[in-house]
Amino acid sequence: MVNKKNLLEVKNLHTSIEDTEILKGIDLTVGLGEVHAIMGPNGSGKSTLANIIAGRPGYSVTSGDIYYCGESIISTQPEIRARKGIFLAFQYPVELPGVRTWQFLKSALDSIRKEQGYEEMGIREFDKLLEEKRKLVEMDQDLVKRSVNEGFSGGEKKRNEILQLALLDPKLAMLDETDSGLDIDALRIVAEGVNNFKGPEKSVLLVTHYQRILDYITPDYVHVLLDGRIVKSGDSGLALELEQKGYEWIRESITSGAKT
Amino acid sequence: MVQAPYKNEQLLADFQTLQENSVAWISEIRSTAMDTFGEIGLPTARKGNEKWKYTNVAPIARIEYKLSKPAAVSLDQIKATAPWDDSWLNLVFVNGVLRSDLVRSDVDGVSVFSIAEEANLDEPCSTIIDYLGSVTDVSDEGFAALNTSFLSDGIAIEIAPGVQSELPLNIIFFDDGTTNSISHPRVLIVARPNSAISVIESYVGGGSKCTLTNSISEIIVGERASVSHYRLLAETDETYDIGYGRVKLGSKAKFKSRSFFRSAKIGRYDLNVLIDGEGATCDLKGLYFTSGSQHMDNFINIDHAKPNGTSYLFYKGILDGRSRAVFGGTVLVRKFAQKTDSIQYDKNLLLSPHAEVDSKPALFIYADDVKCAHGATAGNIDADTIFYMRSRGMDLETASKLLIYGFAGEIIDAVEIDGLKDFLEDMFLTALPSHKFEF
């Protein structure tokens, strides 16, 4: 039986892309109100995990399952997952030439509201809401009138992701290396966005390479992903230990553990 | 051997009829052009003719056309097919013939001359004497030579120095499509120094017969003058449309061109801009949406002959069905055209695996202190983009609609006349498919 208090349960997930196995049996449980950090070196599969939960096509799940709110979502379309409250902030947000940010955000919000049985939001009400959220992420007013992410700086693109998080108000927020390449101000804004989002009915899955963002967002759990497996889990202390000793330390401790 | 658009005997008979009792000046223009046409004929894709490499005119030449005749068409019928606002300076041609009841020419500083009326005078207006044919070289363009051989109707407009017309000139060429017919419209616009005007040219029609519209528009933009030229091609799918735009810019002149293609069986717009004065700028944008088995060829050449000029060329195409689009032409920066700034881009969105685009923008630079960029893209809507939008809750249909509208909207947004912009939004956005993409 799947526990209803767990927002997300990943069970023995194996996935591959073409013939390469990327995830080799992931078990992960995220309870309501919890913040989990997934750390790991490049190529460990941590981004894949977040993308598969969001429903990115192109991967094949060879075994295992993903439960969200107690239901399997493994064959659910990505837009349905989004409407049910799963959100992924992209590592590389996509540019949409000619699609105005304002229009994109309204269309997204209306799609999600429709699923929840609400009418499309009136333009005035939406403008007010957008303005409030925009100020929260300190995004330039001109950017919402421009094409989505087109000509945005790296920091502006990430702020736009956090703006979407704030506006769409999902249940599960996944951040795929949102912190990489950000200067300290942008990092602070991203972290504030996540901290504002947090709550007893919300969960966060933070995928990151570095410990840096965890200075601003304290995770309840830290998992280390290595070669497609979660090899170590712990509290926020694990992140600090990783920062000091590096991923090699984990790799060695596993290998030596296997020998004994 | 001359390949003519219809049987040579018919062509020559029509030509002779036209020349009978003609006044000297126009008779001479026509004869010279007919001699040229006799030598070069219609273009073919053979013998390395790069200019016409991707557009085969054989289907156009195969039809037996009659010269267009006037017809009774209601204004409502015209308004239903072309952009219209009662306040604009509207000029309507039906089957190539100016409808004198639909001419508005009561604006100070904007002189409007009917070429058909001027053609009866031994001495036409100075606008025609000084400028008609002055920027069009017909020596290597068969269709242009043919247009000039049959020069008989059209419009010549002169905007007096310093006059800034707030009202756009709206020129409509409507073909009723009741017979297989050919027309050779002619437009001449002379914007004198420091003047400004917007001009809309719409090529539209109805009916089910095959028509060929073979037009030349000459635009002379004087020193510090400004012309915005809108061109819409939205005929029936039985029509052929060959159009020439010939533009000459004086010092610090500004020229904007917005060209829209929506429908014709085969369309070609050959636009040539000569930067003939220092510091002139041209900004050329276009949108073509081809579907079914339509074919649209944009051939655009910009000649930077003087320094400090800028040319900004940005065309977009959406291709569906088995349609085909061609984008060609060159930006030439001559040796003395230093400090030229030029961008040339063509972007295409392919909605069907059977559609084809041949995009070949080219640059020839002979000056050493210039800033030039060019490029062409053709692609589908990619999987990453669609996933990004779906991950925000939008279904495939909403996502693709936003993307296609957005793609087209960038060009439509560059229309600065409200009534025209609304018309184009209606015409393009309702026609664009809301594709479902499978990944």
- Chain A residues in contact with B389 by the CB 8 A cut-off are 96, 104, 108
Predicted confidence (pLDDT) per residue in A223-250, tens digit: 999 999 999 999 999 998 888 888 888 8
- Chain A residues in contact with B407 by the CB 8 A cut-off are 97-98
Strand arrangement of the beta sheet that strand A172-176 belongs to = A86-89, A172-176, A203-208, A35-39, A221-226, A229-234
Predicted confidence (pLDDT) per residue in B123-174, tens digit: 999 999 999 999 999 999 999 999 999 999 999 999 999 999 999 999 999 9
Predicted confidence (pLDDT) per residue in B415-426, tens digit: 999 999 999 999
Contact yes or no for A168 and B392 at CB 8 A? yes
Q: What is the dihedral of CA A176, A180, A181, A186, to 10 degrees?
A: 80
Contact yes or no for A55 and B393 at CB 8 A? no
Q: What is the mean pLDDT of residues B431-439?
A: 64
Rounded (10°) angle between helices A154-168 and A184-197: 10
* Residue B439 touches partner A, C-beta closer than 8 Å: yes
pLDDT of residue B436: 57
Beta strand A60-68 pairing with A86-89: unpaired
pLDDT of residue B432: 78
Residues of A with CB under 8 A from a CB of B: 54-58, 77-79, 81-83, 87-88, 90, 93-94, 96-100, 103-104, 107-109, 111-112, 115, 147, 164, 168
Euclidean distance between CA atoms B331 and B303, whole angstroms? 6
pLDDT, mean over chain B: 92
Of residues B91 and B64, more confidence is placed in: B91
Euclidean distance between CA atoms A190 and A156, whole angstroms? 11
- Chain B residues in contact with A100 by the CB 8 A cut-off are 406
Q: How confident is the model at residue A259 (pLDDT cuts 50, 70, 90)?
A: very low
pLDDT, mean over chain A: 92
Residue ranges of domains in chain A: 6-93+170-259
CA distances from B163 to B105, B173, B193, B197, B430 (A): 15, 26, 9, 8, 37
Of residues B101 and A39, more confidence is placed in: A39
Euclidean distance between CA atoms A195 and A175, whole angstroms? 13
Angle, CA of B247, B249 and B252, to the nearest 5°:
155
The answer on pLDDT for B437 being more than 70 is: no
Check residue A67 and give left, alpha or beta (phi > 0: left; psi -120 to 50: alpha): beta
Cβ burial A26-57 (10 Å sphere, 16+ → b, else e): bebbbebebbbbbbbbeebbbbbbbbbbbbbe
Residue ranges of domains in chain B: 8-277, 384-439
Predicted confidence (pLDDT) per residue in A145-174, tens digit: 999 999 999 999 999 999 999 999 999 999
Contact by Cβ (8 Å): A11, A27: yes
The answer on pLDDT for B4 being more than 60 is: no
The answer on pLDDT for B378 being more than 60 is: yes
Q: Which residues pair with B269 in a beta bridge?
A: B243, B298
Q: What is the dihedral of CA B97, B102, B106, B112, to 10 degrees?
A: -10
Predicted confidence (pLDDT) per residue in B79-88, tens digit: 999 999 999 9
pLDDT of residue A260: 42
Beta strands in chain A (DSSP E): 6-17, 20-31, 35-39, 60-68, 71-72, 86-89, 96-100, 147-148, 172-176, 203-208, 221-226, 229-234
Q: What is the mean pLDDT of residues A197-217?
A: 93
Predicted confidence (pLDDT) per residue in B249-282, tens digit: 999 999 999 999 999 999 999 999 999 999 999 9
Structure tokens given for B233: 């091609």
Structure tokens given for B256: 């904007």
The answer on pLDDT for A1 being more than 60 is: no
Predicted confidence (pLDDT) per residue in A112-133, tens digit: 999 989 999 999 999 999 999 9
**How many Cβ atoms from other residues are within 10 Å of residue B330's Cβ?**
18
SS3 at position A113 = helix
Contact yes or no for A100 and B395 at CB 8 A? no
Predicted confidence (pLDDT) per residue in B197-256, tens digit: 999 999 999 999 999 999 999 999 999 999 999 999 999 999 999 999 999 999 999 999
Q: What is the mean pLDDT of residues B356-376?
A: 94
pLDDT of residue B47: 60
pLDDT of residue B203: 97
| Distance, CA of B13 to chain centre | 29
Question: What chain A residue is nearest to B413 in terms of C-alpha separation?
Answer: A98
Structure tokens given for B18: 């036209």
Q: What is the mean pLDDT of residues A94-99?
A: 91
Contact yes or no for A96 and B406 at CB 8 A? yes
Q: What is the mean pLDDT of residues A172-199?
A: 92
pLDDT of residue A122: 94
The full length of chain A comes to 260
* pTM assigned to the model: 0.82
Smallest Cα distance from A59 to chain B, Å:
12
The answer on pLDDT for B439 being more than 60 is: no
pLDDT above 90 as % of chain A:
77
Q: What is the mean pLDDT of residues B37-46?
A: 84
The answer on pLDDT for A4 being more than 70 is: no
Contact yes or no for A97 and B389 at CB 8 A? no
Predicted confidence (pLDDT) per residue in B71-106, tens digit: 888 999 999 999 999 999 999 999 999 987 777 767
CA distances from B139 to A30, A249, B4, B43, B133 (A): 77, 79, 16, 12, 12
pLDDT of residue B279: 97
pLDDT of residue B6: 54
CA distances from A244 to A218, A229, A235, A247 (A): 17, 22, 15, 9
Contact yes or no for A78 and B398 at CB 8 A? no
DSSP B328-351: EEEEEE-TT-TT-EEEEEEEEEE-
The answer on pLDDT for B407 being more than 50 is: yes
CA distances from B361 to B313, B340, B344, B417 (A): 10, 17, 7, 29
Check residue B21 and give left, alpha or beta (phi > 0: left; psi -120 to 50: alpha): left
Residues 353-392, chain B, touching A (beta carbon < 8 A): 383-385, 387-392
Contact by Cβ (8 Å): A58, A25: no
Min mean pLDDT across B59-63, B175-179, B340-344 is at: B59-63
pLDDT of residue B429: 81
Contact by Cβ (8 Å): A200, A32: yes
Min mean pLDDT across A83-92, A117-126, B102-111, B291-300 is at: B102-111
Q: What is the DSSP letter of B164?
A: B
Q: What is the mean pLDDT of residues B358-363?
A: 92
pLDDT of residue A67: 97
Contact by Cβ (8 Å): B157, B107: no
Question: What is the third-level CATH fold of A6-93+170-259?
Answer: Rossmann fold (3.40.50)
User: Mutate which of B289, B346, B391, B428 to disrupt the A interface (most A C-beta within 10 Å)?
Assistant: B391
- Residue B206 CB contacts under 8 Å (≥ 6 apart), including other chains: B77, B81, B174, B175, B176, B177, B236
The answer on pLDDT for B48 being more than 80 is: no
pLDDT of residue A257: 61
CA-closest candidate to residue B95, choices B2, B189, B215, B183: B183
* Residue B398 touches partner A, C-beta closer than 8 Å: yes
The answer on pLDDT for B66 being more than 90 is: no
The answer on pLDDT for B363 being more than 50 is: yes
Q: What is the mean pLDDT of residues A76-85?
A: 97
Q: What is the mean pLDDT of residues B53-65?
A: 87
